[in-house]
Amino acid sequence: MTDNIQRMKELSGILTRAGKAYYQEDREIMSNLEYDKLYDELQALEKETGIVLAGSPTTQVGYESLDELPKERHETPMLSLDKTKEREELKAFAGAQKVLVSWKLDGLTVVLTYRDGKLAKAVTRGNGEVGEVITNNARVFQNIPLSIAYQGELVLRGEAVISYQDFEKINEEIEDVDAKYKNPRNLCSGSVRQLNNEITARRRVQFFAFALVKAEGVDFQNSRKNQFAWLASQGFDVVEHVEATAATMDETVDLFAEKIQHFDIPSDGLVLIYDDIAYGQSLGRTAKFPRDSYAFKWADEMRETTLQEIEWSPSRTGLINPVAIFEPVELEGTTVSRASVHNLSILKGLRLGIGDRIRVYKANMIIPQIAENLTQSGNVTIPEHCPVCGGVTQIRAANDAETLYCTNPECQAKKIKSFTLSVSRDALNIDGLSEATLEKFIGMGWIHEPADLFRLERHREAIETMEGFGAKSCENLLASIEKARETTLPRLIYSLGIPNIGVANAKVVCKAFHYDLDQIRNSTAEELADVDGIGPVIGQAMAGYFQDERKSRELDELLKELKIAEAPAEEGAQDLEGKSFVITGTVEHFANRNELKALIESKGGKVTGSVSAKTSYLINNDTTSGSSKNKKAKELGIPILSEEDFLRMLGSEYGERSER
């Protein structure tokens, strides 16, 4: 018994860390297959011993949401689904009832609320009890209706997803190998929870409804199928579903199994739900699962093969990724011969060795993965030198994973990838400098640092004689370089290739420091981390970059070649600088709360979702209500303002608005 309990504690810790990485941090430290295997082992031990330890992943239905977005409690808890990989269990679940079989989509679950025909609120699943409010982002999903015919209160659930086609396009635009997203689910999760919905809009997020929670006054004749049809009539894309019985279960599952081969939306299985609403609800729920629905996960198609080599692939940040090369096998209708091993921890955990017999599969029938190593020779040697430049490598540990890095700052792989980022569209935007061209120019010794990109005129004659160029092509390239000299500070910051600083973060930092490059360069890691959306990891990376003598010198040289545009004009006086607001209740003088929020932010203020000691004002037209936010504000001595109070506080220009 003692050994079992110890193993349960060990499994609980492993699964909790893996779950946190997957759900909160959008990264993977183990495969879905391995997670399911360990989860099943823990569940079996709990059943055998009759003991469930506090905090066990089998008792949890999700993970805590992050602090960057406002949090809100769901009216109805969102439970996980009990699951199986056995068709016979699906038939037993159906019994004598008619069920609806639909895709189990692999994205991020979102709850939408409509009032008076308008989208009022969108909240992520979060931990099933409390989610993050992402209304502003939901408004830019590709296919969510902002207005519907139905005027009552409608609450529905669905999955936000990014198609494989859009996932590939987005990844193609990311030059850095280690910055590419591992799968559509991670990309979708990060996209849905952006603080800047401009990024969300570019990611082409789609929404598919899979459950109706509330629609006052509508008679669905006790049928889930009718609910789906009604949602479709309101303009929602509804998850594809098929009626089935125990007798037709095999052919129904076969139908979906055939479709998934060419299905562009990520799916990790199927969901069954009783069509008879009253019957399903009469079954109640367990502590974790509803009893009216059941999940089916695809049984992964496995193939045994031989590991031939480990390819070590360097990137611009110095990270060297291990990639397994094995004898080609047929999986899910395609030939597969390579799979990412992700990091050294996974490589060591699998005890990979050349010549080992390994079993491979496609996660969600799409992404090649190594399931297990049958022989575990562990003879793979971790390279002490970079395969590109020969520089010394270094093993680093972070976030429960070991990774391999090239320590040579002059590594050609780093330069090519780094300069490719520097000249990309969202950075310095030098048209005509492809990765292949940069590789040639670096090889010729013409480019050693970013400023050299703007000194290629010195090599005009040599460029004109190079294969693939000529006088006209060279002229076009040099013209593009001249055009790129005029740029903006966010573009410049992004072009530097600081880890985790993308276009959006570069803009956020520039705005926070009033577009003053000297101020940014001289800021501490703590000061940078305090910027909303940046945090300690990115703050440390930025400070470290600007404190590096070589990089600082190179930036000085680059600045000699550029003309940085003036900072964008502030939208009026920043009267609310340093003040924090919470908005609750309905608004009368604004189209919605987002419009009021935009005004506050344009004046330098900040809007958060919950009242705390840091809140300056609570805006609520019902200043005397007994709402929880009003009570909290009164407890903390925080002023409660009506809209009119707030507008008068801003001055006469806005006070007139309150009188209209």
Token pair listed for 491: 């573009």
Count of C-beta atoms within a 10 Å radius of residue 505: 21
Encoded tokens for 533: 């959306």
For 217-246, b/e burial (b = at least 16 CB within 10 A) is eeeeeeebebbbebbeebebbbbbbeebeb
Residue 207: closest CA among 153, 260, 273, 157:
157
Query: In this structure, how many other beta carbons lie within 10 angstroms of the beta carbon of residue 247?
Result: 9
Q: What are phi and psi of 39, to 5 degrees?
A: -60, -45
Tokens of 337: 């011969």
Residue 55 C-beta-side C-alpha neighbours within 13 Å: 13
Which residue is catalytic, options 71, 83, 104, 362?
Answer: 104
CB atoms < 10 A from the CB of 380, how many?
21
Distance (Å, rounded) from C-alpha 433 to C-alpha 399? Answer: 36
The contacts found for 28-37 with CB under 8 angstroms, 24 or more apart, are 28/182, 28/186, 28/342, 29/345, 29/346, 29/399, 29/400, 29/401, 30/346, 31/363, 31/369, 31/370, 31/371, 32/268, 32/363, 32/364, 33/300, 33/361, 33/363, 33/369, 33/371, 34/371, 36/297
For residue 242, the SS3 value is strand
Residue closest to 111 by CA, chosen among 75, 70, 143: 75
With beta carbons less than 8 A apart as the criterion, state whether 151 and 216 touch.
no
Residue 104 designated active-site = yes
- Look up residue 145 and give its two tokens: 């209706």
Catalytic residues: 104
